[in-house]
Amino acid sequence: MPNHLATESSPYLLQHKDNPVDWRPWGDEALAEATLRDAPIFLSIGYSACHWCHVMEHESFENEKIAGYLNEHFVSIKVDREERPDLDQIYMNAVQMLTGRGGWPMSVFLTPGLKPFYGGTYWPATAARGMPGFDQVLAAVVDAWQNRRQQAEETAAELTTRIQSLSLPDRGEANLDGDFIVSACGRYEKDFDPQHGGFGAAPKFPQPMNLQAILRAYSRTGREDLLKMVTHTLDRMHAGGMYDHLGGGFARYSVDERWLVPHFEKMLYDNASLTAAYVEGFLATGDARYAQVARETIDYVLRDMTDPAGGFYSAEDADSEGEEGKFYVWKSEQIRAALGEDDADLFCRVYDVTPTGNFEGANIVNLPKSVDEQAERLGQDPADLAQRLAAMRQKLLAERSKRVRPGRDEKVLVNWNGLMIDALARAGAALAEPRYIDAARRAADFVLAELSPEPGRLLHTWAGGKAKLNAYLDDYAALAGGLISLYEATFDERHIEAAAALLDTVLEHFADDQSGSFFYTSDDHPELITRTLELTDNATPSGASLAATALVRLGKLTGNEKYLTAAHRALQAAASMMERVPIAMGQMLIAADLYAGPTPELVFTGPEAGRLAESAHRRFLPRRVIACRAGDAPGSPLLTGTFNNREEQSGEPKLYVCENHACQAPVEGSEAIVAKLKELATIG
CA distance 518 to 151: 35
Q: Residues in the chain with pLDDT < 50? A: none
Which pLDDT belongs to residue 168?
A: 62
CATH number at residue 47: 3.40.30.10
CA distance 112 to 74: 10
Where would I find the beta strands (DSSP E) of 333-458?
408-409, 412-413
CA distance 150 to 287: 64
Q: Is residue 374 part of a domain?
A: yes
Burial 598-613 (b: 16+ CB within 10 A, else e): ebbbbbbbbbebeebb
Domain holding 94, by residue range, is 11-165
If asked whether residues 354 and 291 sit together in one domain, one would say no
Which pLDDT belongs to residue 454?
A: 94
CA distance 121 to 52: 9
Q: Is residue 455 part of a domain?
A: yes
Q: How many domains does the chain have?
A: 4
CATH number at residue 185: 1.50.10.10
If asked whether residues 200 and 228 sit together in one domain, one would say yes
Total Cβ atoms within 10 A of residue 161:
12
If asked whether residues 196 and 155 sit together in one domain, one would say no
CA distance 363 to 341: 17
CATH number at residue 652: 3.40.30
If asked whether residues 354 and 382 sit together in one domain, one would say yes
Task: Give the dihedral sign, CA 257/258/264/269.
Answer: positive
Q: Residues, the chain, total?
A: 684
Start-end of H helices in 222-361 = 224-239, 268-285, 288-304, 332-339, 341-350
If asked whether residues 490 and 368 sit together in one domain, one would say no
Task: Give the dihedral sign, CA 66/70/72/78.
Answer: negative
If asked whether residues 583 and 555 sit together in one domain, one would say yes
Mapped to the 3 state alphabet, what secondary structure does 9-35 carry?
CCHHHHHCCCCCCCCEECCHHHHHHHH
Which pLDDT belongs to residue 652?
A: 86
Total Cβ atoms within 10 A of residue 146:
11
If asked whether residues 193 and 254 sit together in one domain, one would say yes
Last residue of a domain, one of 596, 614, 649: 596
3-state secondary structure of 654: strand
Which pLDDT belongs to residue 377?
A: 93
Which pLDDT belongs to residue 78?
A: 98
If asked whether residues 514 and 546 sit together in one domain, one would say yes
If asked whether residues 143 and 275 sit together in one domain, one would say no
If asked whether residues 606 and 592 sit together in one domain, one would say no
Q: In Å, what is the CA distance from 644 to each residue of 76, 558, 636, 669?
A: 60, 11, 12, 20
For 159-188, the pLDDT digits (tens) are 999 988 876 666 667 899 999 999 999 999
Last residue of a domain, one of 575, 596, 617: 596
Counting DSSP H helices and E strands in the chain, the numbers are 26, 20
Q: Is residue 3 part of a domain?
A: no
If asked whether residues 153 and 208 sit together in one domain, one would say no
Total Cβ atoms within 10 A of residue 128:
11
Last residue of a domain, one of 568, 596, 624: 596
Q: Is residue 171 part of a domain?
A: no
Total Cβ atoms within 10 A of residue 291:
19
If asked whether residues 30 and 156 sit together in one domain, one would say yes
Q: Please, are residues 540 and 419 in contact by the beta-carbon 8 Å criterion?
A: yes
Q: In what order do the strands lie in the sheet with 412-413?
A: 412-413, 459-463, 466-470
Angle (deg, nearest 10), helices 268-285 and 414-430: 20
